Amino acid sequence: MPPAADGVQTMADAKEAPAPQTSAPQSSAPLASAAGRITELRVSANLMTLDTGVYCVFPAPGSRSPDPATGLPSLGITRCPGMAGRPEAVSISTFRDDGWLDNTAALVRVTDGPAQVLVTIYQAAGQPAENAPRLQVLRLAGDPAVAGSDAAAPAAKERDADVMAHIQGAGDIPGQFGEWIGKRGSRAWIEGFGLSDKGPIASGDVEYQGVLGRGWLSPWVDNGKFCGSRGMALPLLGLNVRLKGAAAKEYTVRYSATFIDGSAVGPVEEGVACEAPGLAALESFLIELVPKSDHSESATDGAARSSASRVSAPKSPARSSRR
């Protein structure tokens, strides 16, 4: 009797090897069926060595856009196996939950360099190597141990919080619509934020983006999810919010912000990025939900009424959010 290992066939074997000749022709059917389900890809992997610091890794302008159906070509960034990768020294955050860089970016934090990350490029089999996405690496900070020291700050928990922001040196800070989140003049930047899906807006009825650079915004994120990063020493440079579904029929949204260079912008109408002229880091922001029924009333009457207890008029930016 042959050893058990002889009866094991890899996917490559099923795809490339001819079916064995046996007295029962139907036995080749499983192999032919398996071959039809396997698609060959062109894959290349590269080791990237980084010194201590915080880096933004993103596809270079002009890189080939992924095919809508297959998502190829695509990029993935992971920690390396083995000692060279030093997984205890490297943390990676992406704007997509699945880790792919689909016209987005990865934030890589190396606390004790040099250390390596693994960059893997996936292409359709017929694509030439020169069509692979090209990467740019931007160093954002030199000492993440200091700049990102708030990573371990406990998340503030408040059941009725409509808005939450992760603030440098303070951790997660909750608040409400109509309140300022963060403190003007503090020069502590906001690294990320999120809106609740348990408040006056139903899940999926509002989405938002963070401003990452000039003309560069993060992917849209639905309420209930976090936009940005924690402990990576990477500030957001503004925000963009818009309503959908039932919420868009009932409310309009507007928002204002202050920045660490002392500038203030807003209120801005929904769907427009709220950012400083000089692209300074975001320091505080306010998001207002305005019932559409109020637009038919006078400004005084409209400011006095609210259809939900947590849809409120804006407070002074000098007043900090609840901590």
Residue 230 lies in a domain: yes
Residue 17 lies in a domain: no
Is the C-alpha dihedral spanning 194, 147, 281, 104 positive or negative? Answer: negative
In this structure, what token pair is assigned to residue 178?
Answer: 């109509």
Residue 261: Cβ within 10 Å count: 13
Task: Please state the length of the chain.
Answer: 323
Higher pLDDT: 239 or 111? It is 239
In this structure, what token pair is assigned to residue 60?
Answer: 């270079």
171 and 191 share a domain? Answer: yes
Helix (H) or strand (E) holding 29: helix 29-36
Residue 21 lies in a domain: no
208 and 266 share a domain? Answer: yes
Which residues are CB-neighbours of 225 under 8 A, at least 6 positions away?
194
Highest mean pLDDT among 8-17, 70-79, 140-149, 276-285: 276-285
The residue to which tokens 């943390």 are assigned: 91
pLDDT digits (tens, 9 = 90+) for 24-69: 444 445 544 555 688 888 888 888 888 887 777 877 766 777 777 8
Asked whether the predicted pLDDT for residue 19 surpasses 50, the reply is no
pTM for the model stands at: 0.54
- Per-residue pLDDT, averaged over 311-320, amounts to 43
Provide the strand spans (E) within the chain.
41-50, 53-59, 74-79, 90-94, 106-110, 115-124, 135-141, 163-167, 171-175, 180-181, 190-195, 206-213, 216-217, 221-222, 226-228, 238-243, 251-259, 264-269, 274-275, 282-291
Phi, psi of 183 (to 5 degrees): -125, 125
Residue 34 lies in a domain: no
Residue 219 lies in a domain: yes
143 and 234 share a domain? Answer: no
143 and 251 share a domain? Answer: no
pLDDT at 161: 83
189 and 125 share a domain? Answer: no
Residue 63 lies in a domain: yes
Pairing of strands 90-94, 106-110: antiparallel
- 115, 159, 289, 292 from 175: Cα distances, Å: 38, 11, 14, 23
Q: Residue 135: beta bridge partners?
A: 59
Collapsed DSSP state (helix, strand, coil) of residue 62: coil
Phi, psi of 301 (to 5 degrees): -65, -40
- Of 105, 128, 147, the last residue of a domain is 147
* Contact by Cβ (8 Å): 158, 179: no
Number of folded domains that form the chain = 2
Q: How far apart are CA 263 and CA 274, in angstroms?
A: 12
* Contact by Cβ (8 Å): 242, 254: no
154 and 294 share a domain? Answer: yes
DSSP per position, 71-139: --SEEEEEEPSSGGG-GGGEEEEESSTT-B-SS--EEEEESSSSEEEEEEEEEETTS-GGGSPPEEEEE
193 and 288 share a domain? Answer: yes
pLDDT at 24: 44
159 and 298 share a domain? Answer: yes
- Of 91, 122, 147, the last residue of a domain is 147
Residue 321 lies in a domain: no
* Contact by Cβ (8 Å): 90, 110: yes
* Contact by Cβ (8 Å): 274, 253: no
Mean pLDDT of the chain: 74
177 and 280 share a domain? Answer: yes
The residue segments making up the domain with residue 267 are 149-304
185 and 125 share a domain? Answer: no
112 and 161 share a domain? Answer: no
Highest mean pLDDT among 143-157, 164-178, 228-242, 291-305: 164-178
- Of 147, 181, 199, the last residue of a domain is 147
142 and 169 share a domain? Answer: no
Residue 177 lies in a domain: yes
Q: How far apart are CA 108 and CA 89, in angstroms?
A: 10
